[in-house]
Structure 1
Amino acid sequence: MTAMIPRKKLIEVSIPLEAINVASAREKSIRHGHPSTLHLWWARRPLAACRAVLFAQLVDDPSSWPDRFPTEEAQDIERRRLHRIIEDMVPWEASNNEMILNAARWEIARSVAWSLGEEPPAKDDGKAILDYLQTKAPPVYDPFSGGGSIPLEAQRLGLRAYGSDLNPVAVLIGKALVEVTPKFARLPPINPPSRATLTRGGRWNGKGAEGLAEDVRYYGQWVSEQAEKRIGLAMAHKPQS
């Protein structure tokens, strides 16, 4: 395997801070589906900022490739194009947009490939891009991962992601976000109503960990109902003082 030559990265030159700041600030008001609803971890890093910074750390600045972008004008045009990719991927709505994420993954794969003297997979071959990143892109390790934002976003960008923390609560959050969820990727739900539908010939068209999410919603509601019944029953039999 050819050694990668260190090159100046996009983050060393410029990134679209305004778009990143807007998306990061907006995350504070999101109350559905955001990892912060799993546990309110202090100093949680905004997902938008983590996604943008990881991208900009791994994608080469055009000035690193004078043979491909020989003039300052050509470099500036390419830099602005990369900025638009970041602007597209930082909003919360883009978190699970495969078209937008695949475009970002391809840019990372391109920088990795060029540094190895190779060409990246085709832009429209999402699986090949992910395989390439998993095999040849540098892994991301966050030694103090806390709420897990950095490993989560590294994984979203198709990278191998690792995290650690001294706090056992942080470790549990990280495992739930980064380690456990991918094991159920593309698997159908197992709760009784969903299983009955599939048994009758229904088809599961879910993406990612949607099957797991459906099971969590179903069994979470079941636990809530059972707790309400038992607590209500206990209160009904409580002697009046």
Structure 2
Amino acid sequence: MTTNIPALIREYIQDELRGVYTVSMVVLESVDMDAMRCTVSLKRDQDVIVDNVPIASTFARSDGYGIVVPVEPGETEGFILHVKEPLEDLIVDSGHQEITQQRQFSPVDAVFFPTIWNANDTTPAQNVGDYEQGEYLLAHPSDSLIRVKPDGRVIIEDSNGQTWTMDATTNETRFEHPSGPTLTIKNGEIDIEATQVKIGDLAQAVAVAVQQHTHNLRRCDGSTVDTDEPNEDGTDTLIS
């Protein structure tokens, strides 16, 4: 009986390679945002738990600066990357470190990347509803947004609907409030679209110039001042 030794060796090597996982898909189980560490379970086997896993960031420095992504158990999945060297020797201090162990690609030597959406998840682009191709979007769980449009406009919006838009093309900054008032700064002018303008410090209210329309102004002391009729010639009506 003859034995094909090279074929057996190749089969053995292939079996060994199948058992080496350098990346695994996981579900976030718990998180410590102060330490930027988490506990995860393998998505294919909930009984396999890996704890004290560093959370990766697109920008991390050792002096307290960087980007922190809010991740929540039950809402976040991603990948853990199993590094070749023992992490416990390498992530204590910054700078070059010596390693004291020689294990390779162990499940405990993992870094968590919360970087994917499943097919049935709601993506930020779907959530905002008016996403444009090429737009940079940062959507916070509080429903506050930071958006950079393809044309360069920057829009910041909070969960109440207050919006700040900066447009470099028109050199215009616009503040919008959900109750209606809008303030626009452009070309050295300030335009206020509102049914009422309240000036907080009466001592600072020297004069108000109104064009093309009437205004009813109520001072902080309760008194009111009215323009009698709109100016049709575009000149200012001065109220003081």
Pairwise TM-score range, normalised by the shorter structure: under 0.3
More strand by share: 2
Higher relative contact order (CA 8 A, sep 6+): 1
TM score, norm. by length of structure 2: 0.23
More helix by share: 1
